[in-house]
Structure 1
Amino acid sequence: METFESLVQAEFTPKNTYLNTASNGLLPARTVTALHEAVRLRAEGRSMDPLFDDVETTRAAFARLAGVPVGRVAAGVSVAAHTGVIAASLPAGAEVLTAEDDFTSVLNPFHVRGDLKVRAVPLERIAEAVRPGTALVAVSAAQSADGRIVDLPALRDAAREHGARTYIDFSQAAGWLPMDASAYDFTTATCYKWLLGPHGAAFLVVPEDFGGLTPVLGGWVAGENPWDSCYGPVTELAHSARRFDLTPALFSYAGLRRSLELIEELGVDAVRAHDLALADRFRAGLSQLGHEPVPAPGSAIVSVPGLGHRAPELARADIQVSNRAGNLRASFHLYNTPTDVDRLLDVLSD
C-alpha cells in the first residue's frame, strides 16, 4: 500500500530547498509526463479531442475539491478574468468591500470600473465592516503576502445578515485548506500554486442561478454545443456554468488533470496536516532565533517582517523563498520535509 511519503517521493525531485509554493507549486512527475504527451499529440497532427476531454475531467475534479456540483464550475485562465466578469455584473455605485493590500487580481477589476464604491478595511475587520448597502465582499481566503486566513464563517454570516454577496479567492488555500464553495456566492482559484498545475488554468464557482452574471468574456466554448457555436453569435449559451468558460489553455489542463489526481489521492486533510506541521516547526524555530512572524495561525504560509532582504542570500544557498514588502515569505507544501525547515533556520541563524 502506498503511503503519503511514497506517493510524494515518486512525484517530486527538487534540486534545491524549495519553500516558495505561494509563488509557484512544483510540477509532479505525472504532470510533466502529461504535458509532454499533449505537446507530442499536437506536434504529430493527431486529434486534439483528448485534450478537450481533459478539461472536463479536470473541471469535475475541482468540483469535488470545492464541494459543489460540476455544473457550478467554469473553467478559465486567471483569477483576474473571473473577477472581471463579476465586476461587470455590478450596477453603478455598488459598494464592494475588500481587504487592505489583498492580491491585485481580486481587487483591480472593481477599481477600473470607475463607478463602483470600493472600500478597503484591515482583514481582521472585514466581517464587522459589512453593512447595509454592501453589494459584494471580495477577499482571498488566505492572504498572498503573509498567509493570514480570513474568518470565513464570520464573513459568510455577516454577508447573509446584510444581503451582500461573497466572492472568495482560494488561490493560496485550495490544495491544503479544505474548501466549501457552496457556502459562498462566488469562489475562484488559480491552479499553479498549491494545486500543483501549470500556469494558465483557473476556476470560477457560481450559484446554480448564475448569480446575475453575464458571460461578457464568453466565446464559442460558452455555447451549449461549442462546435456548433464557432461562427456568428452564440445562439444558445451553455445551461451550466460552462457559459462562463474561456477558451482553455489545453496543455495546461492536460497537466492539471494529473495534478488534481494526485491531490485527491493524498487527500486535502493529509496535505494540510503535513504542511501545517512544517509551518509550525518554522515558527517555533524563528522564536528561538528572536524573530516574530506575522500572526497567521493555521496557515501554511509564514511571513517574517524585516528579513525579506535575505532572500537573495538564501537563493545563493539554494533555498527558494520570496521577498514580499520587506518580509521573508516561506510557504510549505507536501514535497517539503523537516530537513528543509531546519536548513532554512540554519542559514537565517548566521
Structure 2
Amino acid sequence: METFESLVRAEFNPKTVYLNTASTGLLPARTVAALAEAARMRAEGRPLGPLHADVEAARAAFARLAGVPVERVAAGSSVAAYTGLVAASLPAGAEVLTAEDDFTSVVNPFHTRGDLKVRIVPLERLAESVRPGTALVAVSAAQSADGRIADLPALREAAREHGARTYIDFSQAGAWLPMEADAYDFTVTVCYKWLMGPHGAGFLVVPEDFGGLLPLLAGWVAGENPWDSCYGPVAELAHSARRFDLPPALFSFAGLRRSLELLEELGVDAVRAHDLALADRFRTGLAGLGHAPVPAPGSAIVSVPGLGHRQPELSEAGIEVSDRAGNLRASFHLYNTPEDVDRLLDALSA
C-alpha cells in the first residue's frame, strides 16, 4: 500500500528548495505526462474528444473537493473574469464590502464598474462591517500577501443576518483549507497554485438558482448541447453552471485532471496536516532567530516583515520564496519536507 510519502516521492523531484506554492505550485509527474500526451495528440492530428472529457473529469473532481454538486461548477480560467461576471450582476449603487489590500483580481472589477459603492475595511473587521444594505462581501479565504485567513464562519453569519451575498476566492487555500463552497453564494479558484495544475484553469461555484448571474461571457461551450451551439445565438443555455463556462484551455484541463486525482489519492486532510506542520515548524524556528511573522495561525503561508530583500540571495542559494511588499513569504505544500524548512532557517540565520 502506497503511503503519503511514497506517493509524493513518485510525483515530485524538485531541483530547488521550493517554498513558493503561493506563487505557482509544482506539477506532478502524471500531470506533466498528460500535458505531453495532449500536445502529441494535437501534433499528430488525432481527435481531441478525450481532452474535452478531461474538462468534465476535472470539473467533477473539483466539485468533490469543494463539496458541491457538479452542476454548480463552471469551468474557466481566471479570478478576474469571474469577479467581473459577479460585479456585472449587481445593480447600480450596490454596496460591495472588501478587505484592505486583498488580491487585485478579487476586488478591482467592482471598482471598474464605476457605479458601485465599494467599501474597504481591514480583514479583521470584515464580518463586523457587514451592515444593512451591503449587497455583497468579496474576500480571499487566505490573503496572498501574508497568509492571513478570513474569519469565514463569522462572515457567513453576518452576511446571513443582513441579507448580503458572499464571494470567496479560494485560490490561496484550495488544498489546505476546507472549501465548504456550499456555505457561500459564490466561490472562485484558480488551479495553478495549491491545486498544482497548469496555468489557465479555474472554477466558479454558483448557487443552484445562479444567484442572479447573467451569462454575459457565454459562447458555444455554454450551450446545453455545445456542439449544436457553434453558429448564431445559443438556442438553449446549459441548465447547469456550465452556462458560465469559458472556452477551456484543453491542455491545462488535461493536466489538471491528473493533479486533482493525486490530491484525492493523498486526501485533503493529510495534505492540510502536512502543510500546516511545516508552516508551524518555520514559525517556531523564526522565533528562535528573533523574527516575528505576520500573525496567521492555521495558515500554510508564512510572511516575515523586513526580510523580503533577502529573496534574491536565497534564490541564488537554491531556495525559492517570494518578496511581497517587503515581506519574505514562504509557503509550504505536500512536496516540502522538514529539511526544506531547516535549510531556509539556516540560510536566514547566516
- TM-score bucket (shorter structure): over 0.9
* Equivalent position of 1:240 in the other structure: 240
Aligned equivalent of 1:100: 100
**How many Å apart are 1:221 and its aligned residue?**
0.3
Name the structure 1 match of 2:324.
Answer: 324
The aligned residue for residue 2 of structure 1 is 2
User: How far is 1:277 from its partner?
Assistant: 0.4
**How far off is 1:100 after superposition?**
0.3
Distance in structure 1 (CA, Å) of the matches to 2:73 and 2:275:
27
Q: Deviations over 1:299-327 (max 9, x none)?
A: 00000000000000100100000000000
Q: For residue 273 of structure 1, what is the amino acid of its counterpart?
A: A
Q: Provide, for residues 3-62 of structure 1, a one-character-per-residue CA deviation record: whole Å limited to 9, x for no partner.
A: 000000000000010000000000000000000000000100010000000000000000
Aligned to 1:13: 13
Query: Which amino acid letter does the alignment assign opposite residue 265 of structure 1?
Result: E
Q: Secondary structure at the match of 1:33?
A: helix
Matching residue of 1:298: 298
Matched, 1:42 2:42: yes
2-structure distance, mates of 1:277, 1:83: 33
Measured against aligned partners, the alpha-carbon deviations of 1:151-204 in whole angstroms (never above 9, x if no partner) come to: 101000000000000000000000111110000000010000000000000000
For 1:1-350, what aligned pairs fall within 5 Å after superposition?
Answer: 1-350=1-350
- The one-letter code matched in structure 1 to 2:184 is Y
The 3-state SS of whatever aligns with 2:254 is helix
Letter in 2 for 1:34: A
> Equivalents in 2 of 1:345, 1:71: separation in Å?
46
| 1:124 match: secondary structure | helix
Q: Distance in 1 between matches of 2:2 and 2:32?
A: 21
In structure 2, the residue corresponding to 1:40 is in which secondary structure?
Answer: helix
Deviation at 1:116, TM superposition (A): 0.4
SS at match of 2:74: strand
Cα distance per residue 1:100-156 (max 9 Å; x no partner): 000001001101000000011000100000000000000000000000000101000
Length, aligned pairs only: 350
In structure 1, C-alpha distance between the alignment counterparts of 2:252 and 2:302, rounded to whole Å: 28
CA distance in 2, matches of 1:123, 1:116: 20
Amino acid at match of 1:231: Y
- In structure 1, C-alpha distance between the alignment counterparts of 2:297 and 2:103, rounded to whole Å: 20
Moved over 3 A (4+): none
SS in 2 for 1:135: strand
- Coordinate RMSD, CA, aligned: 0.4
Which amino acid is 1:208 matched to?
E
Q: Is the partner of 2:156 in helix, strand or coil? A: helix
- 2:115 counterpart letter in structure 1: D
1:258-309 Cα deviation digits (max 9, x unpaired): 0000000001100000000000000000000000000000000000000000
In structure 2, what is the Cα distance between the partners aligned to 1:225 and 1:195?
Answer: 29
2:167 counterpart SS class: strand
- Give 2:114's aligned amino acid: G
The letter for the 1-side match of 2:52 is F
Distance 1:91 1:97 in 2: 15
Separation in 2, partners of 1:296, 1:221: 40
Aligned mates of 2:7, 2:215 — CA distance in 1: 40
Partner of 2:120, secondary structure, is strand
Letter in 2 for 1:156: R
Q: 1 CA distance for matches of 2:292 and 2:267?
A: 31
CA distance in 2, matches of 1:190, 1:4: 25
Q: Deviations over 1:237-269 (max 9, x none)?
A: 000000000000000000000000000000110
The separation in 2 between residues aligned to 1:341 and 1:256, in whole angstroms, is: 27
Give the structure-1-normalised TM-score. 1.00
What amino acid is the match of 2:145? A
AA of the residue aligned to 2:96 = V
Q: Distance in 2 between matches of 1:128 and 1:176?
A: 26
State the AA in 2 paired with 1:81.
A
Q: Unpaired segments of 5 or more residues in structure 2? A: none
Identity of counterpart residues, as a percentage?
A: 84
Distance in 2 between the 1:315 and 1:64 partners? 36
Residue aligned with 2:217, SS: coil
